[in-house]
Amino acid sequence: MAGLPAWRYLGHMVFDRFKLDGKVAVITGAGRGIGAGCARALAEAGADIVGGARTIEQVEEVAEEVRAMGRRALAVPCDVLEREQLENLVARAMDAFGRIDILVNNAGGYPPVPALRTSEKAFEECFRFNVTTAFLLSRFVIPHMLEKDGGSIVNISSSAGRIPMSGFVAYGTAKSALTFMTREFAMEFAPRVRVNAIAVGSTDTSSLGPFLDEDSRAKMEELTPMRRLGEVDDIAIGAMYLASPASSFVTGKVLEIDGGLITGNWPFPV
């Protein structure tokens, strides 16, 4: 509108649309890496945090950081491969806060393995870890979202689900399925619950670090158009956007935060 500052429109402050005051976020794999980064980012935006992770000491440290920001936080031991622990995570969140507005399905992963050395068991385990767990937790959380004001689900997917690379037949297939599941949930539960995904590129976390030495890191950076690895905050800021009212017209979409990848950047031969 004429006469309004560039950072104001329709009578609203743009930054206000990123606020999450009064919201409760459940995050898996919240003890380190991207999950911990999402917890900090959502808390900084105003959300109370329920973090689940297998290592309770790690997720409790993150919860302490959230409390230091003036937000409430609950640390819950949770192995996402155990259905009962997923149910407990949701129950603990509801008991403590009475609502769930945001779910970040972050837990997942799988190391690269040549296709002919990937057993049937390993393939199915990878699918369960990356897809079935997110499916179950979304099923458990969505009814609580529908009872209140709706909500937002953010699935942490991967560029490996879009870009074929040797050695990633299990992980890439699983993340591709997670991306499509995101669209299925979005279609079924719009407009009350928005469901989106982030296709994460190579991100500098403790999960990636053990694979890299100085040479392989340099090669991976060279193969990435932005000439660097992603940082946890790059992903966390994307999750904050998708979780917040700033993205209220976005559902069933995949936000690619991958440094501009159009081809694989995995520097190792199979």
| pLDDT reported for residue 105 | 98
Q: Given this model, what pLDDT does residue 116 score?
A: 97
* pLDDT of res. 78: 98
Q: Give catalytic residues, as residue numbers.
A: 171
The tokens for 114 are 């040549």
Three-state DSSP at 159 gives helix
**What whole-number distance in Å separates Cα of residue 217 and Cα of residue 102?**
34
Question: CATH number of 20-257: 3.40.50.2300, 3.30.470.10, 3.40.50.720, 1.20.200.10?
Answer: 3.40.50.720
CA of residue 93 relative to chain centroid, distance: 18
pLDDT at 8: 54
H or E element, residue 125:
helix 120-127
Give residue-wise pLDDT tens across range 249-270: 999 999 999 998 898 887 777 6
**Ranges in the chain, pLDDT < 70:** 1-12, 270
Task: List Cβ neighbours of 154 (8 Å cut-off, separation of 6 or more).
Answer: 38, 102, 103, 104, 105, 196, 197, 198, 239, 242, 243
For residues 23 and 46, the answer to whether their CB atoms sit within 8 Å is yes
